[in-house]
């Protein structure tokens, strides 16, 4: 006979685990009404209960032993909020094997092992949900899996990392250097002590692999996602961009080409102020989706934090609970038909912003323009600034061109004695 309650065990009591517990317990009454049965957190596992937490758990629910959740037959849903691959993946596979549904906010695990996790879940007729893995509370997973499921999606483009968006916003609004803005992000708790995963685009690449698989129905090998971070963005370029009507953002871009191949790339871009994503500032996230029937859709919200991410994971708990109540599972299985055929970055076409520090003398512009021409790189606009009579900044925007050809041109330009350096090369979108 079915139990009177749906029982949940939480693995990992950090920021997200805390938010999840708080949302599920604070809203227990309305959740019971919505699901048709009470949804109770009955056990929370963490290896260290001495750390101070924002949201307290009654001592009788605490354990340091994950197997007390994984082996408890009364637990229906396991929420994995540990993060990373080890031990999270082993726990998730054990939970599925034990016939439990799993909810998780673990982007790295889903990006790298989503296929094996979803296959195991299908074999055991349980559900795996991961709304909290991308964009915190921004409901992009369910939107792609369900709301836009009937459409043909062409493009998913997102600001999916709040730390880097916060840093770029500070650099832009307060003329800060990257290092100063990063330090501030660390003091506010946005950036980790080791900020590599955020600032070098690793976190965004994991999220893009997940979004692309859902949007385009092909598995994306995250190690093949092109990735460039924001640590080399200079305040001078943010200032030039602003004067030309652009903002600098770190974007995760997934795009289906006319030949049915996929572009999957994470890198800084110049976005025109008129683009919907340009208005997304601070630690907020947003995902812009373009589809054949739906046209443009944008989802916006807090991409991190205990309560926003906790609310997204709690929504997944309710989804799994409803399926259990109605005796359903696997309603939205993995829909990937094989691996994505990714376009190598060298073949991608982009419009590009370039800044060069050059000798201020006759013939410089012409020499550089000739090299661009020889590689079929066509100039859209050019301005010369900051001349002290000896050196000057030349800022170019070139029309859409093939990356490999631009790279060849820049190599030749860099070797000219009249060129001191090329401090910036940033793609332009929108």
Residues designated as active site:
207
Q: How far is the CB of 173 from ligand HSE (least distance, A)?
A: 18
Q: How far is the CB of 198 from ligand HSE (least distance, A)?
A: 5
DSSP 8-state code for residue 60: G
Q: CA 212 → CA 147, 289, 294, 345, 350, distances in Å?
A: 16, 11, 17, 16, 19
**Which residues, including other chains, have CB under 8 Å from residue 247's CB and lie 6 or more apart?**
168, 172, 241, 270, 271, 273, 278
Cβ-based nearer residue to ligand HSE, 101 or 164: 164
**Which residues, including other chains, have CB under 8 Å from residue 86's CB and lie 6 or more apart?**
none
Instruction: For residue 304, state whether it binds ligand HSE (rule: CB under 6 A).
Output: yes
Are 405 and 376 in contact, with CB atoms under 8 Å apart? yes
Cβ-based nearer residue to ligand HSE, 12 or 291: 12
Q: How far is the CB of 18 from ligand HSE (least distance, A)?
A: 14
Are 110 and 117 in contact, with CB atoms under 8 Å apart? yes
Q: How far is the CB of 256 from ligand HSE (least distance, A)?
A: 25
- Per CB under 6 A, the segment of 57-65, 155-163, 373-381, 421-429 that binds ligand HSE is 155-163
Q: Which of 161, 169, 170, 212 binds ligand HSE (CB under 6 A)?
A: 161
- Per CB under 6 A, the segment of 1-9, 160-168, 313-321, 398-406 that binds ligand HSE is 160-168
**Which residues, including other chains, have CB under 8 Å from residue 239's CB and lie 6 or more apart?**
175
Nearest to 40 by CA among 63, 7, 62, 17: 7
Sign of the four-CA dihedral 32, 35, 38, 39: negative
Rg, the chain, Cα only = 24
Q: How far is the CB of 381 from ligand HSE (least distance, A)?
A: 33
- Per CB under 6 A, the segment of 138-146, 159-167, 291-299, 350-358 that binds ligand HSE is 159-167
Cβ-based nearer residue to ligand HSE, 70 or 167: 167
Instruction: For residue 203, state whether it binds ligand HSE (rule: CB under 6 A).
Output: yes
Cβ-based nearer residue to ligand HSE, 143 or 206: 206
Instruction: For residue 303, state whether it binds ligand HSE (rule: CB under 6 A).
Output: yes
Q: Are strands 419-428 and 262-272 parallel, antiparallel or unpaired?
A: parallel
Cβ-based nearer residue to ligand HSE, 161 or 375: 161
Cβ-based nearer residue to ligand HSE, 301 or 303: 303
Cβ-based nearer residue to ligand HSE, 35 or 140: 140
- Per CB under 6 A, the segment of 117-125, 161-169, 351-359, 417-425 that binds ligand HSE is 161-169
Q: How far is the CB of 161 from ligand HSE (least distance, A)?
A: 4
The angle at the Cα of 122, spanning 121 to 127, to the nearest 5 degrees, equals 55
Are 314 and 139 in contact, with CB atoms under 8 Å apart? no
Nearest to 342 by CA among 221, 201, 205: 221
335: three-class secondary structure by DSSP: coil
Q: Which of 80, 127, 131, 198 binds ligand HSE (CB under 6 A)?
A: 198
d(CA 288, CA 294) in angstroms, rounded, equals 12
Q: How far is the CB of 402 from ligand HSE (least distance, A)?
A: 32
d(CA 278, CA 273) in angstroms, rounded, equals 5
> Site residues for ligand HSE, window 104-133 (CB under 6 A)?
none
Q: Which of 12, 162, 195, 254 binds ligand HSE (CB under 6 A)?
A: 162
Could you list the residues that contact ligand HSE (CB under 6 A)?
A: 161-163, 198, 203, 303-304
């Amino acid at each position: 006979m079915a139990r009177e309650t749906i029982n949940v065990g939480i693995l990992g009591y950090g920021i997200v685990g805390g938010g999840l517990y708080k949302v599920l317990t604070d809203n227990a009454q309305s959740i019971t009404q919505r699901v048709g049965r009470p949804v109770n957190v009955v056990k929370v596992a963490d290896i260290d209960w001495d750390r101070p937490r924002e949201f307290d758990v009654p001592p009788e629910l605490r354990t340091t032993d994950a197997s007390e959740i994984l082996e408890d037959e009364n637990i229906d849903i396991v929420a994995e909020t540990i993060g990373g691959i080890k031990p999270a993946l082993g726990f998730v596979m054990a939970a599925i094997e034990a016939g439990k549904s799993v909810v998780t906010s673990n982007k790295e695990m889903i990006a790298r092992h989503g296929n094996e996790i979803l296959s195991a879940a299908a074999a055991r007729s349980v559900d795996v949900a991961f709304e909290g893995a991308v964009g915190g509370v921004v409901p992009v997973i369910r939107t792609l899996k369900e709301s836009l499921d009937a459409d043909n999606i062409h493009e998913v483009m997102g600001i999916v990392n709040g730390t880097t968006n916060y840093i770029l916003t500070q650099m832009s609004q307060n003329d800060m250097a990257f290092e100063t803005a990063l330090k501030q992000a660390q003091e506010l708790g946005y950036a980790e002590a080791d900020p590599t995963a955020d600032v070098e685009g690793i976190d965004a690449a994991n999220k893009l692999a997940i979004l692309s698989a859902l949007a385009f129905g092909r598995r994306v090998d995250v190690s093949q996602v092109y990735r460039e971070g924001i640590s080399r963005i200079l305040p001078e370029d943010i200032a030039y961009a602003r004067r030309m009507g652009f903002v600098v953002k770190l974007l995760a871009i997934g795009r289906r080409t006319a030949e049915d191949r996929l572009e999957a790339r994470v890198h800084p871009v110049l976005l025109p102020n008129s683009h919907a994503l340009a208005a997304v500032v601070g630690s907020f996230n947003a995902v812009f989706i373009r589809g054949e029937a739906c046209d443009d859709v944008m989802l916006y919200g807090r991409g991190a934090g205990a309560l926003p991410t906790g609310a997204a994971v709690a929504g997944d708990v309710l989804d799994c609970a409803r399926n259990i109540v109605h005796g359903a599972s696997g309603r939205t299985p993995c829909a990937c038909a094989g691996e994505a055929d990714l376009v190598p970055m060298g073949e991608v076409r982009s419009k590009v912003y370039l800044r060069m520090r050059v000798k201020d003398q006759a013939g410089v512009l012409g020499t550089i323009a000739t090299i661009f021409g020889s590689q079929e790189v066509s100039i859209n606009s050019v301005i010369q600034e900051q001349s002290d009579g000896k050196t000057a900044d030349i800022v170019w925007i070139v029309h859409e061109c093939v990356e490999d050809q631009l790279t060849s041109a820049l190599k030749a330009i860099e070797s000219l004695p009249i060129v001191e350096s090329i401090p910036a090369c940033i793609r332009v979108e929108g």
